[in-house]
Amino acid sequence: MLLEMRGITKTYDGGVQANRDVSFSVRAGEIHALVGENGAGKSTLMKILFGLEPMDAGEIIYKGQKVRIQSPEQALEMGIGMVHQHFMLIPSLTVAENIVLGHEPRLGGGRFDFARAVRITRELSEQYGLSVNPQARIEEISVGARQRVEILKALYRGAELLILDEPTAVLTPKETNDLFVSLKQLIDRGHTIIFITHKLQEVIAISDRVTVMRQGRTVGTMNTADTTKEAISRLMVGRDVLLRVAKPPAKPGKPVLVTNDLRAKSDKGNEILKGISLTVHAGEIVGIAGVEGNGQSEFVEILTGLRRATGGQVKIGGQDVTNWPPKDIRRLGVGHVPEDRHVHGSAGLASIAENLILDRYDQPPFAGQGLARFIIRPKAIRSFARELIDRFDIRAENELVPAGALSGGNLQKVIIAREFVKQPQLLIAAQPTRGVDIGAIEFIHQEIVRQRDNGAAVLLISADLQEVLALSDRLVVFYEGEIVAEFTDTAHLTEEEVGYYMLGAWRDRTQKGESK
Amino acid sequence: MNGDRLRRFAAEALGIVVAFALAIAVGMVLVLLLSAEPGHALYALLIQPLTSAFYFGNVLERAIPLIFAGLSVAVSFQARQFNIGAEGAIYIGALFGTLIALYATFLPGPVHQLAVFIAAIIGGALVGWLPGWLKARFGANEVVSTLMLNTIAIKFTSYLLSDPIRDKSSGYTQTVTLPDQVLLARILPPSRLHTGLFIALLAVVVTYGFLYRTTIGYEIRMVGINPRFAAYGGIDHRRAIVLAFVVSGILAGLGGIVEVVGIHQKLIENFSPGYGFDGLLVAIIARLHPLAVPFAAFFYAYLRAGAAIMERESDIPQEMVSVIQVILILFITAEALMSFFRKRMNRRTEHAR
Amino acid sequence: MLADILAVFNLGLIFMALRVTTPILFAALGGVISEQAGVVNVALEGLMLFSALIGLFVGVTFQSPWLGLLGAIVASLLLSLVFAFVTQTLKADEVVVGIAINVFAVGFTVFLMQEFGGDKGSYNPAHPVALPNVPIPWLNGVPGLGMIVNGPNGQGLNVMTYLSLLSVPLLTFFLYRTVFGLRLRSVGESPLAAASVGIRVIRMKYYAILLTGIFTGMAGAFMSMAYVNMFLRNMTAGRGFIALAAVLLGARKPWGTFLAALLFGFAEAISNMAQSLRLPSQLVTMFPYAVTIITLTWFSVRDYRRRQRREAAL
């Protein structure tokens, strides 16, 4: 064994237990896939290994010796390198400069030996078959090339064990193939690779062994050759307790949200939505299942006016609202619970009351009418806020407390209150219960069902498979920017079955209402 | 005020009070070290401004431009825009107002005076609008554009004063004394304290109302606190940014003309000794809250007035207070220090519970 | 009129311009270092002013302009250290602290003048010291160059002027050819990425701020021991802000900043001769500021268009 991690336990300050007694071992010279749902604890485990997070208990044995890794520099010294999902590169510097940064070759007098940096880069690049142009600036090269730079950077620092955190998430299929070829070459040269991924066909294609994590634990390690995508998928999504939400059958009405062949590019410029056509009717909850990063966030951003579509059409209540500004879309009666309550959902330094009036501060009764329409009425705002605090059970001393002082669950309730109280015709809820305590989860679920029963069309996006399964009347699965499956009968649907599509084990077999 | 708010207010206040105390303590040490008669100097600095109406009038008259400039900075900083163009707006406001005062003499008295202020508002608004629009539309760095505009405004004013609107009978680069009907009345002679004080206090209330009681103020504050939250809620952040700059310019422009028609009664070259920058420090001491600005301005003016007395009455020059001021600012802006007080306060109240 | 204007544009003007460019160029090169390390340093003005007075004090006390220069640099370093500590260690806002330091410098220098010189308007020492002018007589033989370097009276450019000109290639070399420069730039552009390869970001920013201090110290020394041989209240008169403008006009690069500083220097030189031109000097000196705003806008519009195009292309 090159690496053994035993009994690793880690609890974050907020009380989230990310790793519970995890054991994980890697053989020299293998590609070891580490898989698991979002929040299963893979990243935490790797952060501990790379010295980015301290562990509460457990031990790490590397090359037969018990080690303590307290910083990335220490990890690198031992020969452990990591390529992060978000590249750590300096855009205006050249490839060669980025690779040697921090350990630069020198001429006398503190001079930087650029020629040698280029030579080093070229040699490394040829040695490992990772082709890059040493003199190109990072800002000029493709995402795939940037990733090769990151790998070369780790190799230059002497990494023997290489951790790749979801390396294919940002790559095109062609780039993914190239990467795999290079990884094989790395193995031939005596390196070892830990490969974090969500995509099961990649596990099958590239790895020698695979370890599955679920809810902070390792639930199995096997030889890839002896297993199947289905078996891995079952291990990943199987759950002890099933979440149940009591809800009467849906009575779908007329279509409220219709998207037609919707297309978009991500911030990095790759095609993130490849033609999404989806309809949500009044009185039904449509769930979107999928591993994060498969286009759900961008889909929601387009629906709510925060991102431009590059093609296709969005209709809400019969109106073509493609690329409308957020204000106009909201005015049509669209409620939106954003996926990150701190980034978009709230203004931490503003009071609860001010957070609650975000999209109605300029309308009666909060603002006057006619000439007084620019005047805000604090009394109306405060009584409105008190009412919502009461009705949505927000635990705060009063309505003037800054939103940033609230706990995660209470802050989420503020957002839910704001978006739900206006009785939207379309409600878009992204990760509505992420990082929220059990009590609040139940409450939020009930409120979502109540909105549906009041006739709202509800679009629910969640990385938590249990949640989408429990709440949705209809379910679609996003995979790499496409809808790869649609289920109209969710009552008897199992996590395993959805899991196969989410993880890419099965695809393009869109079945309508024919689940078991 | 409820417990939670009180606690937060107390933590904030404690931090500021400690900063004040430290700053003044350093000032006292300086005086003790340098003065042959330290007791006398300190008395002049800290107590004497209170001992006569004249001295107290001096404090208040110095506070007036600082209130305007402080409000000006507070508005744009609340939108998280580093607009340091108050100095330029002070000059252009003063210049526009002066031009009307000099050349629109055909207007009846009160109308003339009103026209002077409106001209200053327009001037300030223009100077505020340009960098605001450049920032909102193209993302042009506002620190640089406002710094440049400051110098342009000052030089342009100097140019007009050097010849076109200069009082040729005077040896100074200044205009003639402006007509009586546009001047503000002196209210505490022999000090120069004038009715501009009430305009300044009115501006405080109006600015507070603007930021906390209007839809635009709400938009400005939300854009400042979390621009992505504002965008998500459908707030037009460009409009909010431009308006914050414009209002900021208006306040500074008013401050400029009030100083001209209140104190100097004519436009003088370089009449502002950096009120725009002082205003920035005042706004920071006030933690960007309009209602706290007059207090911060008063404190600042008090120090300056006390220092002026100290200089006359003792052997310590008044500029010594710049040491106190800078220490105060450094303490107050040092986020690490302030959050230290916030944490201490929280811990203590937790123990108490 | 036209003839008058043209008459100004002679080689003597270049000599004059180089002279008045010197403090701007020093401060601006200092600003380049801070900017490259991602520090917004609006304290240039105050650093320069403070070091001008302290430098002169030290120089006069020891009757040595060189010790004066050293004193100016040390003074500037001390104040820079305060700036670095408050902004980097205590995490205060850079713009606010920079402005505070400027306000402080104006007041504190007057305070010191009064305390130690007895006058608030100027400090005019009985035995002033001056950093020497260095004429290069043999250049008089070269047409044009002799006039540019030695001036109309043959007194020569100041030693600091040569040093400021020399600093441009030196700084270029330092930023783009040394390991330290590489790290400095990486910290400024992407502190996270720099930290991820083990570069100490805060420490690098301290270094950058202190290096800036060395340059503003030289700028200050030039003001009080070369430009004139005394100290005047607020004698930097906005040169620190001009320097900042030059940095941005020069796209944060040494050579670009040099050209921008030269533009400001020429404007000042022309305005100094403006009386003979019957041109309002204020309008002439306003010109580079307007150019800066226009250029800044143009840069921003260009970037904006580029973003738009990229979006459209997606």
pLDDT digits (tens, 9 = 90+) for C188-230: 999 999 988 889 999 999 999 999 999 999 999 999 999 999 9
Judged by CB atoms closer than 8 Å, whether chains meet at A398 and B2 is answered as: yes
Q: What are phi and psi of A367, to 5 degrees?
A: -120, 160
C14 contact A CB<8A: no
Confidence check: pLDDT of C313 > 70: no
Candidates B5, B214, B229; nearest CB to A374: B214
pLDDT at C304: 81
How crowded is residue B51: how many other Cβ atoms within 10 Å of its Cβ? 12
pLDDT at C90: 87
Six token digits for residue A113:
């030996």
Contact C25, C261 (CB under 8 A): yes
DSSP H or E stretch at residue A6 = strand A3-11
Domain count, chain B: 2
Which residue type is seen at A45? Answer: L
CA distance B111 to chain C (A): 33
Tally of residues, chain A: 516
Q: How far apart are CA B262 and CA C117, in angstroms?
A: 35
Residue B9 lies in a domain: yes
Q: Is A216 left (phi over 0), alpha (psi -120 to 50) or beta?
A: left
Confidence check: pLDDT of B16 > 50: yes
pLDDT at B352: 39
Provide CB contacts within 8 A for B145, sequence distance 6+: B85, B130, B131, B134, B135, C293, C296, C297
In chain A, what residues touch B3 (CB-CB under 8 Å)? 397
Using alpha carbons, list the distances in angstroms from residue A64 to A2, A4, A25, A67, A333.
Answer: 7, 9, 12, 9, 62
Say whether pTM exceeds 0.95.
no
Provide CB contacts within 8 A for C18, sequence distance 6+: C148, C157, C161, C165, C265
**Residue A279: beta bridge partners?**
A258
Task: Based on the fold, state whether residues B87 and B137 are members of the same structural domain.
Answer: yes
Contact B115, B108 (CB under 8 A): no
Burial (Cβ within 10 Å: 0-12, 13-18, ≥19) of residue C127 = exposed
- In chain C, what are the domain boundaries? 10-240
Task: Based on the fold, state whether residues B204 and B305 are members of the same structural domain.
Answer: yes
Task: Based on the fold, state whether residues B210 and B78 are members of the same structural domain.
Answer: yes
> In A, residues 362-391, which contact B (CB 8 Å cutoff)?
362, 367, 373-376, 378
Residues of A near C (Cβ–Cβ under 8 Å) read 72-73, 84, 87-93, 97, 101-104, 106, 109-112, 114, 153, 265, 269, 308, 310
Q: What is the mean pLDDT of residues B107-123?
A: 95
Contact C127, C230 (CB under 8 A): no
Q: What is the mean pLDDT of residues C105-122?
A: 85
pLDDT at B23: 85
B350 contact A CB<8A: no
Six token digits for residue A389:
């605090």
Using CA coordinates, name the residue in chain C closest to A84: C196
Q: How far apart are the first and last CA of chain C?
A: 56
pLDDT at A291: 83
Judged by CB atoms closer than 8 Å, whether chains meet at C314 and A104 is answered as: no
Residue B41 lies in a domain: no
Q: How far apart are CA B124 and CA B116, in angstroms?
A: 12
Residue B55 lies in a domain: no
Residue B104 lies in a domain: yes
Q: What's the pLDDT tens digit per position in B159-178?
A: 999 888 888 888 888 999 99
Residue B43 lies in a domain: no
Q: What are phi and psi of B232, to 5 degrees?
A: -60, -35
Q: Got the DSSP string for C166-192? A: HHHHHHHHHHHHBHHHHHHHHHHH-HH
Q: How far apart are CA A348 and CA A286, in angstroms?
A: 31
Under the banding of pLDDT at 50, 70 and 90, the label for residue B186 is very high
Task: Based on the fold, state whether residues B295 and B327 are members of the same structural domain.
Answer: no
Residue B45 lies in a domain: no
Task: Based on the fold, state whether residues B218 and B289 are members of the same structural domain.
Answer: yes
* Share in percent of chain A as helix, strand, coil (round to 5): 35, 25, 40
Confidence check: pLDDT of B3 > 60: no
In chain B, what residues touch A374 (CB-CB under 8 Å)? 214-216
Confidence check: pLDDT of B349 > 50: no
3-class SS at A31? strand
Task: Based on the fold, state whether residues B344 and B242 are members of the same structural domain.
Answer: no
Interface with A, mutate which of C190, C199, C203 (most A CBs under 10 A): C190
What averages of pLDDT result for each successive group of 10 residues across chain A (516 residues)?
Answer: 92 79 93 86 90 91 92 90 89 94 90 95 91 91 89 92 87 85 90 89 90 89 90 75 72 92 83 92 93 89 92 92 92 92 90 92 87 89 94 88 86 93 93 81 90 94 86 91 88 81 71 41
Under the banding of pLDDT at 50, 70 and 90, the label for residue B346 is low
Judged by CB atoms closer than 8 Å, whether chains meet at B139 and C303 is answered as: yes
Contact B150, C290 (CB under 8 A): no
Q: What is the mean pLDDT of residues C105-132?
A: 87
Side-chain-side CA neighbours of B213 within 13 Å: the count stands at 11
Instruction: State the residue range of the domain holding B296.
Output: 61-311
Candidates C42, C107, C297; nearest CB to B322: C107
Q: What's the pLDDT tens digit per position in B223-267?
A: 999 999 999 999 999 999 999 999 999 999 999 999 999 999 999
Provide the CA A84 distance to its chain's centre, in angstroms.
14
pLDDT at A516: 33
Q: How far apart are CA B204 and CA B71, in angstroms?
A: 7
B6 contact A CB<8A: no
**Chains in touch with B (≥3 Cβ pairs < 8 A):** A, C
Q: What's the pLDDT tens digit per position in B37-46?
A: 888 888 988 8
Tally of residues, chain B: 353
Task: Based on the fold, state whether residues B174 and B220 are members of the same structural domain.
Answer: yes
* Share in percent of chain B as helix, strand, coil (round to 5): 80, 0, 20
Confidence check: pLDDT of B347 > 60: no
In chain A, what residues touch C194 (CB-CB under 8 Å)? 90, 101-102
Task: Based on the fold, state whether residues B160 and B289 are members of the same structural domain.
Answer: yes
Under the banding of pLDDT at 50, 70 and 90, the label for residue B331 is confident
Nearest-5° Cα angle at C24, C235 to C260 = 145
How crowded is residue B337: how many other Cβ atoms within 10 Å of its Cβ? 20
Residue B44 lies in a domain: no
Chain A, chain C: beta-carbon pairs less than 8 Å apart = 60
Using alpha carbons, list the distances in angstroms from residue B2 to A405, B8, B113, B213, C69.
Answer: 15, 10, 45, 21, 59
Under the banding of pLDDT at 50, 70 and 90, the label for residue B342 is low
CATH of the domain at B163: 1.10.3470
